[in-house]
Chain A
């Protein structure tokens, strides 16, 4: 690997007539993650570095190493975290290599990255985003544009990504939300019942999802998650005893929707939201969640509702047994989530 790098580099230099010293064994590569963090990896001869560090002023690897390394964003120096490891030589034909990682946060709105490395006397390659600069020890790189190295994902791809994340958060990963929606569906064979409950649920969970993501409300998962399980149990148990849509049922579904919204927010926080496209991601995630719920209802309708909703055994053989299974599962979850 190192071998081919050097050969390629040499060929390049000879062809382009770049003026430089001999090429050493040091190489540096820079990567940027999602426009937030940087990671500079330096691979260099361990013995040569140790000899230079030994006669350097200061104490400890970090303090000494920092003195001849400069990372700047738009001309302002940053102070990276330093970690290093040494790999012993793999055979008699090779030398021990030290790998040093310099990592940290990219400052807000930074546009350009520059790099200076004074720990080598030879020419070395700086690789970033597939492009290579040949630098002398101590020479400052030409500024690298972050926009081209860590491209912001475009709005359409973000929207599509979070739409899918929202959908898959219900189907297939959100069994608890699926059971809740089924519980809503099973109450009554009337379309109006499903429509009103789903609307109440949607409005409610959209409110708490948004408020939670903006940090305006915060309820810990150890409270939200058991409450979600209780809400499923309640809806299913009510189905066993009633098939009428009463106004307080809608109010309760709305209240449960507020809980589920906080649950969605917990999941979305774990997935992470791009700072630059926060609103897009939030809205499309919510739309994805809706699509997931509608998919559950549509499937239930196609499997049982369409054929047997008007049969007189529909309630006794479908609604009640299914609601009992849902209720048992939810009670089990409630106990499980409370004990965690």
Chain B
């Protein structure tokens, strides 16, 4: 097992050097997932692979929404342009805080090999099939991508009633149970929506900071749901990617949306 783990790590590292231009995950990483009431929390944005990530400084021109929602309502995260952590929030009252970052689209151009590999890795089978049917498998791809990242932070005791909820992002993962109330052996139901409707057949991947190479994966059902059996402890990242043909005038063939959801379960 140990050797297997080591070799998978080596492969992972090898991938980083040889295939660095693949699209990367983007997630929200607060400085703490369990702040005290009244505490000011720095919220980092990170981009990377297998939970190894680079900080993204606050880039005003990229932010569509960077917000936190608690029992009192929705507020923007404050921050100075170019700074890391990208935003700050004050915990006004005990309860669950839903942090959201929705970016404006960025564009990227990938070689046919890179694009095909990335489409395969992210489980975007319909896009691979569409490209094949259009005889485009051998052509380079221009893509616009948008980030739809969320994070759940808990101040004080967890409650079943105050859970995750929709922020209205184009692609969005919503935990249908408060993950902080989850006990060992219980599944976390997660719903994926695209333009506020359930998205079926999408690959959802979960990974843990303590062992990122061991992935928990599932495809969404007709109601856009997956049930994930997540080992308690450590920070979890749940992610899903959705791609569509780019709208006319986008100067790209494809448009992708990157949903992520992070939370950190205490070990008890």
Binding site for B on A (CB under 8 A): 2-4, 6-7, 10, 14, 17, 19-26, 44-45, 48, 51-52, 55-57, 67-68, 92-95, 118, 120-122, 136-139
Contact = CB atoms under 8 A, between A and B. Distances in A.
A6 B80 CA distance: 12
A19 B81 contact: no
Nearest to B23: A21
Contacts of A3: 57, 80-83
Given A3-B83, A10-B59, A137-B20, A48 B53 contact: yes
A92 B43 CA distance: 12
A24 B20 contact: no
A19 B84 contact: no
A25 B84 contact: yes
B20 A122 contact: no
Contacts of B59: 6, 10, 22-23
A45 B18 CA distance: 22
Contacts of A55: 9, 12-13, 52
Given A14-B61, A19-B107, A95-B55, A6 B82 contact: yes
B20 A25 contact: no
20 contacts: A2-B57, A3-B82, A6-B59, A19-B108, A21-B24, A21-B108, A23-B56, A23-B57, A25-B56, A25-B57, A56-B13, A93-B80, A95-B85, A121-B47, A121-B48, A121-B52, A121-B53, A122-B56, A137-B16, A138-B21
A22 B85 contact: no
A122 B81 CA distance: 17
Interface in B127-186: 142
A95 B49 CA distance: 20
B132 to A, nearest CB: 24
Nearest to B12: A55
Interface string B187-198: 000000000000
Interface of B: 6, 9-10, 12-13, 16-21, 23-24, 26, 42, 46-49, 52-57, 59, 61-62, 80-85, 106-109, 142
A93 to B, nearest CB: 6
A14 B105 CA distance: 12
A48 B45 CA distance: 12
Nearest to B46: A48
A230 to B, nearest CB: 66
A24 B52 contact: no
Contacts of B57: 2-3, 6, 23-25
Nearest to B251: A17
Nearest to B109: A19
B101 to A, nearest CB: 11
Contacts of B85: 93, 95
Contacts of A118: 16-17, 20
B81 A7 contact: yes
A17 B142 CA distance: 12
A311 B36 CA distance: 99
B55 A45 contact: yes
